[in-house]
């Protein structure tokens, strides 16, 4: 029995490690592997490839320049299915592959349980997309967020609502970590202008009860903080039920699929809080064409952030002059004004962005456009 | 209030269609066919591909009706195939073995469709959503009414088939006593296959209707509705066909009022809470009879 367990363990260890080889641990010419748990299946499956491609682009560029510390970089993307259990399994697999850092994390609910796994192994995690406050509330020393946080996103939404002098705001969330976090923070920041919150079931098709509940509160703005697959249906059913007020969605719903699912006519004029997309970033045209040439498709949400996450880790590795987890963490903490798509990056003591990069988008035709 | 009733009846009629297949199969071979919800998903995907093929030729409601029939035939045959491959070889096996096989079939369908169609949600090419009209204080669309009407027609047809025809009598005979039915010359295997065909076709119809109405389909869409249909079948009295219809509508209404009172996050708690209450307090369901111990 023990023998068999040992044999299975050996096989498991040998399988993913092929690149560096079983004996590659101490070899300084082996590849530096960066792990990346992202959703490649499940209801957020559209986002994973955007992030993986963004990261791969950075890795290819760095390798073309000779890699980092004289070693080539390699990306190990794992499917987390936006599901806590799958994500934890993916993280454990990456840890056993001896990744030097993780540059993944889209769904906060799925990313959250992976953090202790990486943290225990002293593997720094640079999260490009997931941004629930829960991710840094535990103050895990190896966890860094390069997307703006839930607080910053809620702040952007509230500021916009104030400017539009909207006074009855209903927030709708799906009870996942990311979604509930933004919803709660938004309600709290709105104070008496909040008309309450409504919960939908993630993955459900019928949102009739939630729509009825929203309509009963008679809002002038509905802020949906879930993901695009549910958001599309929810917006569709809300409009069908005769709601004519404003609708806004959070960054988890910013994807072309939201517009397709809702139907283009029903999605018109839907606003969104979002961190910078490449198409709105000045000087990113060249980057976009490089991406298109390589992957045959347009970059999407969080392509740039994933690209930046890899570059940030590479920069920190160079400054640390080592792949040691502690030294890398220290180098990440000391990052000063690192140039990213969303602006120069420095970390707060909580390992979050010192300056938020949220903007307001609006659906026009079949795409999201920047609101000036 | 009337909005809550309408919401409940609308979702309830979907539950009822799926619950019927659950209940029929259970009634005849005492199997909880956990793959049934995935046949619903299969129906939605078959409908999706048929509509995509048809999109150049015809569109709108007529296309949808053709596709509904095609998808029902296809899922019906899939149901017969599943029974033939997975359940028939286990006819003499302990019930637990068949139950686990059903779970296996469920996963095979889910991840088989995922392999072929991908994990991304798909958007239906034909969508049913007209302008809503106000009726007795509830907002509803003509398309919703059509869907509910189709569901009731299908349920009525099934009821007539089971209660008024020879084939239906054979099904009821097997449900009552498979051995005696066999001894009196009924082709048990054939009748069971027929039951699978009917149940799966109804689930497939519900799948196409859900796809056309909600517009978004994905490979895991059958999981929760499978559980809900099971709950509906238990509430109505599993094995009992009018019970399954009643149970589906009752569950839809319970959910609608439950969420109306307590908020959306409680919907599934409410649905499955009802399942537990019924299992404890009235395991035979609303219309079921007290179970007779079978030899």
Residue B15 has pLDDT above 70, yes or no: yes
Nearest of B194, B233, B217, B191 to residue B79 by alpha carbon: B194
pLDDT tens per residue, range A77-107 = 999 998 999 999 999 999 999 999 999 999 9
- Hey, are the CB atoms on B264 and A209 less than 8 Å from each other? yes
Q: How many CB pairs under 8 A join A and B?
A: 81
Compare B73 and A29 and report the one with higher pLDDT: B73
pLDDT tens per residue, range A143-169 = 999 988 888 899 999 999 999 989 899
- The per-residue pLDDT for B293 is 42
- Hey, are the CB atoms on B264 and A46 less than 8 Å from each other? no
CA distance A143 to chain B (A): 29
Does some domain include residue B189? yes
- The per-residue pLDDT for A56 is 95
Lowest mean pLDDT segment, chosen from A24-28, A337-341, B274-278: A24-28
Residue A276 has pLDDT above 90, yes or no: no
A44, closest residue in chain B (CA to CA): B120
Number of neighbouring beta carbons within 10 Å of residue A10: 11
Does some domain include residue B136? yes
Q: Which conformational region is residue A168 in: left (phi greater than 0), alpha (psi within -120 to 50 degrees), or beta? A: beta
Does some domain include residue B21? yes
Considering only CB atoms, which chain B residues are within 8 Å of A236? Answer: 129, 215
pLDDT tens per residue, range A104-148 = 999 999 999 999 999 999 999 999 999 888 898 888 999 999 988
Tokens of residue A282, six digits: 């000045």
Residue A2 has pLDDT above 90, yes or no: no
Question: Three-state DSSP class for A350?
Answer: coil
Distances (CA, A) of B219 to A85, B39, B74: 19, 11, 17
CA distance B121 to chain A (A): 7
Residue A21 has pLDDT above 60, yes or no: no
C-alpha to C-alpha distance for A47 and A331, rounded to whole angstroms: 29
- The per-residue pLDDT for A23 is 43
Compare B132 and B202 and report the one with higher pLDDT: B202
Residue boundaries of the structural domains of chain A: 31-147+302-341, 150-277+359-370
- The per-residue pLDDT for A259 is 93
> B170: domain range?
2-281
C-alpha to C-alpha distance for B226 and B103, rounded to whole angstroms: 11
Specify the CATH number for the domain of residue B82: 1.10.3470
- The per-residue pLDDT for A12 is 45
Does some domain include residue B291? no
C-alpha to C-alpha distance for B120 and A232, rounded to whole angstroms: 14
DSSP one-letter string for B116-150: HH-SS-EE-SS------EEETTEEE-HHHHHHHHH
The share of chain B scoring above pLDDT 90, in percent, equals: 40
Looking at domain A31-147+302-341, does it have CATH number 3.40.50.2300?
A: yes
**Best mutation target, B13, B216, B267, B269, to test chain A (most A CBs within 10 A):** B216
Does some domain include residue B272? yes
Tell me the fold of A150-277+359-370: Rossmann fold (3.40.50)
Dihedral of the CA atoms B149, B151, B157, B158 (nearest 10)? -160
pLDDT tens per residue, range B144-165 = 888 899 899 999 999 899 889 9
- The per-residue pLDDT for A221 is 93
- The per-residue pLDDT for B84 is 94
Number of compact structural domains in chain B: 1
B85-116 exposure pattern, b = at least 16 Cβ within 10 A, e = fewer: ebbeebeeeeeeebeebbeebbeebbeebbee
pLDDT tens per residue, range A192-219 = 888 888 888 888 888 888 888 898 889 9
- The per-residue pLDDT for A141 is 92
- Hey, are the CB atoms on A241 and B268 less than 8 Å from each other? no
Does some domain include residue B294? no
């Amino acid at each position: 029995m023990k023998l068999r367990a040992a044999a299975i363990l050996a096989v498991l260890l040998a399988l993913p490690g092929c690149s560096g080889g079983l004996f590659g641990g101490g070899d300084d010419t082996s590849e530096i592997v960066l792990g990346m748990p992202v959703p490649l299946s499940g209801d957020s499956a559209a986002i994973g490839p955007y992030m993986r491609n963004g990261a791969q682009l950075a890795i290819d560029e760095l390798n073309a320049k000779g890699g980092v510390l004289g070693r080539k970089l390699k990306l190990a993307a794992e499917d987390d299915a936006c599901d806590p259990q799958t994500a934890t399994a993916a993280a454990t697999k990456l840890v056993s592959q001896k990744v030097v850092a993780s540059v993944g994390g889209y769904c906060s609910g799925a990313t959250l349980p992976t953090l202790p796994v990486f943290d225990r192994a002293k593997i720094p995690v640079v999260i490009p997309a997931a941004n629930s406050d829960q991710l840094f509330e535990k103050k895990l020393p190896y966890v860094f967020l390069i997307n703006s946080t839930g607080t910053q996103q809620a702040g952007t939404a509230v500021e916009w609502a104030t400017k539009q002098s909207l006074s009855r705001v209903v927030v709708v969330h799906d009870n996942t970590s990311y979604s509930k976090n933004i919803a709660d923070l938004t309600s709290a920041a709105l104070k008496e202008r909040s008309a309450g919150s409504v919960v939908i079931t993630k993955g459900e098709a019928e949102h009739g009860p939630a729509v009825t509940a929203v309509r009963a509160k008679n809002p002038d703005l509905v802020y949906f903080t879930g993901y695009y697959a549910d958001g599309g249906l929810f917006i569709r059913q809300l409009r069908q039920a005769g709601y004519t007020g404003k609708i806004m969605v959070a960054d988890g719903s910013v994807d072309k699929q939201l517009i397709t699912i809702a139907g283009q006519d029903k999605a018109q004029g839907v606003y969104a809080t979002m961190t910078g997309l490449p198409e709105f970033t000045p000087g990113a045209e060249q980057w976009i064409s490089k991406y298109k040439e390589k992957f045959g498709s347009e970059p999407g949400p969080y392509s740039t952030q994933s690209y930046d996450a890899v570059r940030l880790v590479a920069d920190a590795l160079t400054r640390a002059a080592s792949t040691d987890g502690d030294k890398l963490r220290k180098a990440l903490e000391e990052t000063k004004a690192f140039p990213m798509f969303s602006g120069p990056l420095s970390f707060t003591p909580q390992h979050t962005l010192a300056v938020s990069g949220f903007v307001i988008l609006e659906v026009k035709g079949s795409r999201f456009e920047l609101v000036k | 209030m009337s909005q809550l009733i309408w919401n409940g009846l609308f979702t309830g009629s979907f539950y009822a269609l799926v619950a019927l297949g659950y209940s029929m199969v259970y009634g005849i071979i005492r199997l909880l066919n956990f793959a049934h919800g995935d046949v619903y998903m299969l129906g939605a995907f078959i409908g999706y591909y048929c509509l995509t093929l048809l999109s150049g030729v015809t569109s709108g409601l007529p296309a949808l009706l053709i596709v509904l029939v095609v998808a029902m035939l296809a899922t019906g045959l899939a149901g017969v195939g599943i029974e033939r491959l997975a359940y028939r070889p286990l006819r003499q096996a302990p019930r637990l073995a068949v139950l686990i096989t059903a779970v296996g079939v469920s996963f095979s369908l889910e991840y088989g469709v995922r392999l072929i169609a991908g994990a991304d949600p798909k958007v239906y090419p034909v969508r049913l959503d007209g302008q809503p009209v106000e009726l007795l204080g509830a907002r509803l669309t003509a398309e919703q009414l059509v869907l509910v009407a189709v569901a009731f027609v299908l349920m009525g047809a099934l009821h007539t088939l089971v209660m008024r025809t020879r084939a239906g009598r054979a099904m009821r005979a097997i449900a009552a006593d498979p051995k005696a039915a066999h001894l009196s010359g009924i082709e048990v295997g054939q009748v069971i296959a027929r039951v699978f065909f009917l149940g799966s076709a109804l689930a497939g119809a519900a799948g196409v209707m859900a796809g056309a109405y909600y517009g978004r389909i994905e490979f895991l869409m059958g999981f929760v509705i499978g559980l809900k249909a099971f709950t509906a079948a238990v509430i109505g009295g599993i094995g009992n066909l009018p019970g399954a219809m009643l149970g589906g509508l009752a569950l839809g209404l319970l959910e609608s009022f439950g969420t109306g009172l307590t908020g959306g996050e409680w919907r599934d708690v409410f649905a499955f809470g009802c399942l537990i209450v019924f299992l404890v307090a009235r395991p035979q369901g609303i219309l079921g009879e007290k179970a007779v111990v079978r030899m």
